[in-house]
Amino acid sequence: MENKLIASSSPHIRSEETTQKIMLDVIIALLPAFVASIFYFGFNSGVLVVASVASAMITEVICQKIMKRPIAISDLSAVVTGMLVAFNVPPSAPWWIPVLGSAFAIAIAKQVFGGIGFNFINPALAGRAFLMASWPTRMMSGWVDPAVANGVDAITSATPLAIIKGTAEGQLPSLMDMLLGRIPGCIGETSAILLIIGGIYLIYRGVIKWIIPVAYIGTVAVLALLIDGGSLVLYHIFGGGLMLGAFYMATDYSTSPITDKGKVIYAVSAGVLTMIIRKFGGYPEGVSYSILIMNIVTPIIDKYVSPNLFGGAKK
């Protein structure tokens, strides 16, 4: 009787994947865009990212100590949140902007609701929304044009989406510049090709599914074609935060639907909202708010598209 039956609670199927491994993959996927931000916008981009990550980690430790929870800073989730908050600020922003954004993201959007896995909205996007509401001028100005300058004292210019919307004057950059990232914008969202490569890496590693990014980007592309015509479709796709949002924030486990059908509904709705805000809203960009809105709607989507439990009654 050497082999004994072991009784334990679920889950009975276990995986070697851990939160730390998943978050490490996300960090690896974000590193190329981080390096590109320093190359294009100068040393201040690195300062902003480091300050944001440090703020997120410190805030998480403080909150967990106050709330008497185990210190889980080693799971790297705070590092990812800090990077994403910094990726959503202008390259000429002062260091305290991402510091406050990350502190809000961790303390209010994450830890107050129970920590990782319990947040109902994406913490990084909540931090960006907080910064937009509190310091809109700093968050919507000071865009650095990497094509003509480099660094904090660089020449500022309008973003491609602001030019399309008509809220700023300027000439649209070439599509190659859009793809490579030689355009004004937030420090982590300009290089579309590097964000796509990072996203493909996450799909290959099984960290995310392709459904949300493809459905989200595809919806924006179709609506941009119908509204603005074929000449501006790629500007809508590669400009702004669509790639960053579609691959790295809309796919957040805690705030996106569980089922594949739910993911499609979620992503298509986010794409529709993005184009509505871009064309008819007050801001030239609508990715962050569209994802936040769909985060709130996610429980409703899960309620109506989740399959019945095996042996359960029909809905």
Of 33-37, 149-153, 158-162, which has the strongest mean pLDDT? 33-37
Query: What's the whole-number average pLDDT of the chain?
Result: 88
Between 173 and 193, the more confident residue is 193
Between 10 and 195, the more confident residue is 195
Nearest to 83 by CA among 40, 121, 28: 28
CA-based torsion, 76, 81, 82, 84: positive or negative: positive
Q: What is the dihedral of CA 69, 74, 79, 80, to 10 degrees?
A: -90
pLDDT of residue 153: 46
pLDDT in tens, 252-295: 999 999 999 999 999 999 999 999 999 988 888 889 999 999 99
Three-class SS of residue 291? helix
pLDDT of residue 149: 47
What's the CATH class of domain 19-305? Answer: mainly alpha
Return the domain boundaries, the chain. Answer: 19-305
13-17, 137-141, 195-199: which has the minimum mean pLDDT? 13-17
CB 259 within 8 A of CB 306: yes
Look at phi and psi of residue 185 and say left if phi exceeds 0, alpha if psi is from -120 to 50, else beta.
left
Rounded distance, CA 103 to CA 173, Å? 35
DSSP letters spanning 204-269: HTTSS-SHHHHHHHHHHHHHHHHHH-GGGHHHHHHSTTHHHIIIIITT-GGGS-SSHHHHHHHHHH
